[in-house]
Amino acid sequence: MTDYLVVSAVRGEARYLPEGLPVLITGAGKTPAAVATARMLASRDTSDLVVLNVGTTGALRDGLSGIYLPSTVINHDLNVDAIRAIGLDPQDELPVEGGDGTVLASGDVFVADPAVRARLAERAHLVDMEAYGVVYACREFGVPVKVVKHVSDAADDAALDWPTLVDTSAKALGEWVTHYVRERA
């Protein structure tokens, strides 16, 4: 039987999850997400575990809305060209099995600037601040992960209204997780 661990950045994103599922709140950003996820994975049996990273996302391209399951997570605020130039692999793109083909740019920059949005939209469909850290930690522990993101905003100046938008996303995420877990019970 599959065990699930739901990982979210903030409690507001996890507000409507089904009761009984373990939930890990990591805090905002890649580093807190990676450390909290790794700490949790190191403290438990992971043999039948699937991590569900659920949360909000900004749409980098017009017309995107609803729930997405990215197939690739990229670390967008890392100077990959310089790192490659010195002969190192920055591991800036991580595959996520079972995704829908979308690419999620993950970084510690809260994207609300149209110029940053346009630059990121050249490489990705969506943006968040934690998925890369969660996926990286799960990969290191050999634990399957699904990234489940709901578009809360357009990664522009309206993103600053995120505190008022998160509840709508949390409801959609709760419904998705409820259906996903029931379907596999």
Enter the tokens of residue 60.
């980098």
pLDDT of residue 53: 98
What would the pLDDT profile of 44-90 be if each residue is shown by its tens digit?
Answer: 999 999 999 999 999 999 999 999 999 999 999 888 889 999 999 88
- Percentage of residues of the chain with pLDDT beyond 70: 98
Task: Name the amino acid, one letter, at 19.
Answer: E
Give the pLDDT of residue 160.
Answer: 63
What is the residue-averaged pLDDT of the chain? 92
For the residues 141-167, what does the mean pLDDT come to? 84
pLDDT over 70 at 159, yes or no: no
pLDDT average, residue stretch 158-173 = 82
Q: With DSSP H G I counted as helix, E B as strand and the rest as coil, what are the percentages for the chain, rounded to 5?
A: 35, 25, 40
- pLDDT of amino acid 145: 98
Mean per-residue pLDDT for 10-32?
A: 95
pLDDT over threshold 80, residue 164:
no
How far apart are the C-alpha atoms of 4 and 18, rounded to whole Å?
Answer: 12
Global pTM? 0.93
State in Å, rounded, how far the first CA of the chain is from the last one.
Answer: 8
The continuous run of DSSP H or E covering 39 comes out as: helix 30-42
Q: Is the pLDDT of residue 107 over 70?
A: yes
**Whole-angstrom Cα distance, residue 101 to residue 72?**
7
In three-state secondary structure terms, 99 is coil
Percent of the chain at pLDDT > 90 equals: 75
With contact defined as beta carbons under 8 Å apart, do 38 and 7 qualify?
Answer: no
Question: Tell me, what's the pLDDT at 110?
Answer: 82
Please give the single-letter amino acid code of residue 114. P
Number of helical H runs and strand E runs in the chain = 5, 9
Q: Please report which confidence band the pLDDT of residue 1 belongs to, taking 50, 70 and 90 as the band edges.
A: confident
Quote the pLDDT of residue 15.
95
Distances (CA, A) of 74 to 1, 92, 93, 136, 161: 31, 5, 4, 10, 25
Q: What is the pLDDT of residues 110-146, one digit of tens each?
A: 888 888 889 999 999 999 999 999 999 999 999 999 9
Give yes or no for residue 154 having a pLDDT over 80: no
**Which pair of tokens denotes residue 109?**
């920059």
> Tell me, what's the pLDDT at 44?
93
